[in-house]
């Protein structure tokens, strides 16, 4: 999988239809027969491991057939679990070519993704600069009343919301203008917010999430939603995650119903529920997935506590967990992305290094309770546990009754506690 390429902005996985966490893998030229027309890459989908087995035929979001022909358990490029899918038409073309040429397969080379011109991305600023810009940015935004109501239902108090600087992102200026009086927001237009921000910070270059328009004005990316800051081991805000109000949009950025998306998926767009606050192209700055660290409010500024550190999927779960259990929580953006904890910062240390050096020897893996019915999640959990054991940590697995709550935040809000099992 060394040649695997993570999906770029605007690309959707051929299998699950989502734009993140999945990959494409170029098919070797000698495996592409003469006369074949179709994808010249395998689709590596990280969301189908629990429902698809090798040999199964699935229908992709583009209506084409794909055959699952390999399962990945781990790889050095960050893909920790997934299924590789080959276009079914490719195998049929190879069989036809073999018969037509009496066993001699003639390769056909045509333009691949590797041949396309890729606009170089601007490198992100250092974490200290990101922290300064993001804190000023968040101070200019407010939490919309409907978003506050939603967070209250999820167990957040106003104090918790303010402490973790959770705010709302308004719709784009274009959508806002087109909706006119039908759109109401307590936040300023994006262009105005960026103008105000530039009065406080030197520049928005090298800051993921911001970009310049064709007229040279600064704005920021993403659909309307709720922003959750991600903190590094030093307590700096070094990334932002956006919970979209809607996962389905048309080509102009307007939110649409799921049924409208499914009626015309090629001309509409589906995003993840939680996405990175990032930007692309020559006028933007891209950032990859990162893990967030949430210390209990009582320990802010003191570093990792030396008792238990919990790891789960998602910022919302981590914040609620840290508040109710009074332990540090590490959030990863997906169950298969635990290797983010091994990525080194500019000081040469990973999150696992910081945890180990702080004396925090016990780590609890707390994936959702539906993992018993999801082979992909269980596979990811096994890989995560093995990684932690290799690094010398004492590892525990958290389990609970799904009838009390799916995620650990649901469990805690409903008055339950997880059962912890020590992994030998």
Tokens of 315: 């910022």
**Calpha distance 147→143 (Å, rounded):** 6
Non-local (6+) Cβ contacts of 233 within 8 A are 293, 304, 345, 349, 351, 354
46-74 confidence digits (pLDDT tens): 777 556 777 778 888 777 888 888 876 54
**Which is it for the CA torsion 363, 364, 366, 371, positive or negative?**
positive
Domains located in the chain, CATH noted:
5-115 (no CATH), 127-276 (3.90.980.10), 292-422 (3.40.1360)
**Calpha distance 169→285 (Å, rounded):** 18
Task: Output the pLDDT for position 370.
Answer: 86
Tokens of 314: 């998602």
**Which is it for the CA torsion 244, 246, 249, 253, positive or negative?**
negative
Backbone dihedral angles phi then psi of residue 349, each to the nearest 5 degrees = -115, 140
Side-chain-facing half-sphere of 34: CA atoms under 13 Å: 8
* Residues in the chain, pLDDT under 50: 1-2, 74-80, 103, 105-119
* Residue whose token pair is 């635990």: 338
Hey, which residues does 309 pair with through a beta bridge? 328, 363
């Amino acid at each position: 999988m060394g040649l695997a390429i993570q999906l770029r902005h605007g690309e959707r996985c051929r299998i699950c239809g989502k734009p993140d966490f999945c990959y494409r893998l170029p098919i070797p030229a000698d495996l592409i027969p003469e006369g074949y027309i179709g994808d010249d890459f395998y689709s590596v989908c990280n969301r189908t491991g629990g429902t698809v087995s090798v040999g199964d035929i699935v229908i992709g979001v583009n209506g084409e057939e794909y055959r699952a022909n390999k399962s990945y358990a781990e790889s050095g490029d960050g893909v920790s679990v997934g299924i590789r899918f080959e276009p079914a038409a490719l195998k049929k073309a190879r069989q036809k070519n073999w018969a037509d040429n009496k066993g001699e397969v003639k390769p056909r080379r045509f333009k691949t993704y590797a041949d396309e011109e890729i606009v170089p991305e601007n490198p992100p600023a250092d974490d200290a600069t990101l922290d300064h810009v993001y804190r000023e940015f968040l101070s200019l935004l407010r939490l919309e009343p409907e978003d506050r109501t939603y967070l209250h239902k999820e167990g957040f108090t106003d104090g918790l919301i303010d402490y973790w600087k959770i705010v709302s992102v308004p719709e784009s200026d274009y959508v806002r203008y087109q909706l006119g009086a039908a759109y109401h927001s307590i936040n300023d237009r994006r262009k105005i917010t960026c103008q105000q921000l530039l009065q406080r910070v030197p520049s928005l270059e090298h800051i993921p999430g911001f970009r310049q328009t064709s007229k040279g004005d600064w704005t920021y990316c993403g659909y309307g939603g709720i922003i959750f800051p991600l903190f590094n081991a030093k307590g700096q805000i070094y990334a932002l995650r956006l919970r979209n109000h809607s996962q389905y949009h048309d080509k102009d950025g307007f939110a649409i119903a799921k049924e409208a998306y499914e009626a015309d998926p090629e001309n509409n767009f589906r995003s993840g529920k939680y996405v990175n606050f990032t930007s692309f192209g020559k006028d933007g700055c891209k950032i990859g997935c990162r893990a967030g660290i949430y210390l209990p409010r009582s320990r802010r500024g003191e570093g990792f506590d030396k008792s238990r550190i919990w790891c789960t999927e998602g910022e919302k779960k981590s914040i609620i967990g840290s508040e109710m259990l009074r332990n540090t929580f590490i959030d990863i953006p997906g169950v298969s992305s635990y290797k983010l904890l091994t990525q080194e910062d500019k000081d040469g240390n990973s999150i696992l290094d910081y945890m180990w050096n702080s004396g925090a020897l016990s780590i609890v893996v707390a994936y959702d309770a539906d993992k018993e019915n999801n082979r992909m999640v269980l596979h990811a959990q096994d890989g995560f546990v093995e990684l932690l054991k290799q690094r010398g940590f004492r590892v525990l697995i958290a389990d609970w009754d799904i009838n009390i709550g799916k995620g650990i935040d649901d469990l805690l809000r409903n008055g339950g506690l997880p059962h912890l099992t020590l992994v030998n």
